Amino acid sequence: KAGVTQTPRYLIKTRGQQVTLSCSPISGHRSVSWYQQTPGQGLQFLFEYFSETQRNKGNFPGRFSGRQFSNSRSEMNVSTLELGDSALYLCASSLESPPRNTEAFFGQGTRLTVV
Amino acid sequence: GQNIDQPTEMTATEGAIVQINCTYQTSGFNGLFWYQQHAGEAPTFLSYNVLDGLEEKGRFSSFLSRSKGYSYLLLKELQMKDSASYLCAVEGFQKLVFGTGTRLLVSP
């Protein structure tokens, strides 16, 4: 079966712009989580959606938002981009929302560079 | 609060055994995951521990002690392809929290 698909793979934006990233989970998975990965901070949790509802949110400013559609596909949006937003954004899908006893499957990520 | 500690980098030689430690302090605990991430690639699942003890899966084993807030990943018969980052992640209250990862370099 198809894995987790994230688009686009690479993106270059200018400070002040906004960006929308997309994640299509594995078929049948209803939970989608987003992470920001930077060399110094590792994977930082952004938010998690389950059945179109945001279940949990990490410690990121309100410029970071997301949503999930009825087909479980998810988007995250970052407005008023800052240089520090340059990172790899990873999406992970799983059958259930935490707590769960199955692993999360990650997409290849979107590499965002803000110049 | 959430705090997960792993060594930043480790080196080992091909054929050897290496143990990567992870200590954690989290609000809520439902389980602990280990993921492997090669440079430029997505993290992939290695193991999951929810009860104390050792889980063995081929060359990889993972241990958990909930009372000590401690886990380790044991890699045996190291191969060059094992050079990667190893991420410890704790599932707490409704979210999966990752450590910063341990970069393992395997040399011939």
pLDDT digits 0-9 by tens, A38-75: 987 889 999 999 999 998 899 999 999 999 999 999 99
Cβ separation A97–B94 shorter than 8 A: yes
Length of chain B, please?
108
Cβ separation A101–B50 shorter than 8 A: yes
Contact residues for A37 (Cβ-Cβ < 8 A; gap 6+): A43, A44, A87, A88, A89, A90, A109
CA angle A78, A115, A43 (to 5 degrees): 50
The yes-or-no verdict on residue B55 having pLDDT over 90 is yes
The yes-or-no verdict on residue A104 having pLDDT over 70 is yes
Residue A98: the pLDDT is 63
Residue A89: the pLDDT is 97
Residue B40: the pLDDT is 85
Residue A113: the pLDDT is 97
Residue B93: the pLDDT is 73
The yes-or-no verdict on residue A99 having pLDDT over 60 is no
Minimal Cβ distance to B42: which of A41, A48, A109: A109
Q: Tens digits of per-residue pLDDT, A8-43?
A: 999 999 999 999 999 999 999 999 999 999 987 889
Q: Report the gap between the CA of B42 and the closest CA in chain A (Å).
A: 5
| B31 shares contact with chain A (CB less than 8 Å) | yes
Cβ separation A45–B101 shorter than 8 A: no
Tell which B residues from 46 to 105 touch A, by Cβ distance under 8 Å.
48, 50, 87, 89, 91-101
Confidence of residue A96 (pLDDT cuts 50, 70, 90): confident
The yes-or-no verdict on residue B38 having pLDDT over 90 is yes
Q: Which is it for the CA torsion B56, B57, B59, B61, positive or negative? A: negative
